Structure 1
Amino acid sequence: MIEGGKASPTPLKMIAAVAVLRNPWAGMGFVEDLRPAILDTAPELGALLTAMVLEAAGGGDRVEGYGKAAMVGINGEVGHASGLIHTLRFGNHFREAVGAKSYLAFTNTRGPANASLQIPLMDKNDGGRRSHYLTIQLSVADAPGPDEIVVGLGASIGGRPHHRIGDRYQDLKELGHDVENPASV
């Protein structure tokens, strides 16, 4: 693999698993409680997409970076996309399968068919390790339809080739912040 005109000793592999589903709240107007449909949909969806990523990666132990994303079609609310991916019943399938300690980086947006879905990745065990701050960008030509949601999981095997910007911890030290408590001054 060549990046920036320089050969990389280890190629970066990025994986995305995506599902398109009918928005369970389509045509219902404002729904006060999204939880019943989330509980009906998110666990199975999380398990399905996790299995797809693991198969492509060759196992959870190979995954280093990970993230999630959802995009609701133009008739839906961003809260519909968000509701499906921001439940432990969705994300924990992936988190546990790859042995992660950090939270899943995420995006949740609204868009038309063929809109760019961005799946941000971060190191599965160290949220401050910038070498694994990556983004998978993809689109599905005919989705999301107005009443659909596109949901994706992303993974990387490896980090950015030729990583050379350091990590958050060095910046925190240089700025005089306590690395253990970054909000302190």
Structure 2
Amino acid sequence: MPAEIRKTLLHVENTLIEGGKAAETPLTMIAAMAVIRNPWAGQGFVEDLKPGIRDCAPGLGSLLTDMILEASGGGDKVEGYGKAAIVGVNGEVEHGSALIHTLQFGNFYRNAVGAKSYLSFTNTRGPANASLQIPLMDKHDGGRRSHYLTIQTQIADAPAPDEIVIALGASIGGRPHHRIGDRYQDLKELGHDVDNPAAV
């Protein structure tokens, strides 16, 4: 059966001033979250998680992607993206991983924003009000450090012991006043081939 959703939440954060200096382009970070009943709750150790994945992951991916698109104004506006899960203390970290580390979840978001890079992630276990941290990276370029960001928030009453918080994150823009360069500059300084970093 589809995910049993207790609530959804939308977190929108706009940074206008950073380091005491106004941002030339304000940074917007968005988190779309769903609090669901753990589909494997009360079943003991479940060997095959695939039925629950097929039941729950596609609907969650579609729902949370739609929330991000509405809040951002469209997939073309999204620059950085990521995902996260927090499993309640009666569940396994594997339960959260099962729902977010599947193409049946992530491809809704990836396709909607036209992304090329992988979705950065966290999957943890914790009590209600645990810190939800969604790492972001540029949707096209994993070496673009200006978009290495983390959305941090929490839900006062979730996850309950038999719940999971599932989330997608997005940024419109990168860090204001970013000035640490990109990964490619480091590779050049270290004498590595930018197109083949393993080569010296």
Question: What TM-score range do you get, normalising by the shorter chain?
Answer: over 0.9
Structure 2 residue identity aligned to 1:49: L
2:192 maps to 177
For the aligned residue pairs, the C-alpha RMSD in angstroms reads 0.8
Is structure 2 residue 129 aligned with structure 1 residue 114?
yes
User: 1:45-64 residue pairs with structure 2 within 5 A?
Assistant: 45-64=60-79
Q: Which structure has more RCO (C-alpha within 8 Å, separation ≥ 6)?
A: 1
Counterpart in the other structure of 2:40: 25
Q: What is the DSSP-based 3-state SS (H/G/I as helix, E as strand, rest coil) of the residue aligned with 1:8?
A: strand
Q: Secondary structure at the match of 1:41?
A: helix
1:54 is paired with a residue of what secondary structure?
helix
Rounded Cα–Cα distance in structure 1 between residues aligned with 2:192 and 2:131: 36
2:21 aligned partner, one-letter code:
K
Pick one of 28, 35, 45 that aligns with 2:50: 35
Aligned to 1:144: 159
Structure with a larger share of its residues in strand = 2
2-side partners of 1:29 and 1:184: how far apart? 48
Tell me, yes or no, if structure 1 residue 79 matches structure 2 residue 91. no
Q: TM-score, normalised by structure 2?
A: 0.91
State TM-score, norm by structure 1.
0.98
Write the letter of the residue equivalent to 1:93: F
Q: Using the alignment, how far apart are the partners of 2:125 and 2:170 within structure 1?
A: 22
How far did 1:174 drift? Answer: 1.3
1:118-137 → structure 2 map (5 Å cutoff): 118-137=133-152
Letter in 1 for 2:65: T
Matched length: 185
- Between the aligned partners of 1:45 and 1:184, the Cα distance in structure 2 is 41
CA offset at residue 47 of structure 1? 0.1
**Superposed displacement of residue 182, structure 1:** 2.0
Matches of 2:102 and 2:74, distance apart in 1: 23
Q: Per-residue CA shift, 1:136-158, capped at 9, x if unaligned?
A: 00101000010100000000000
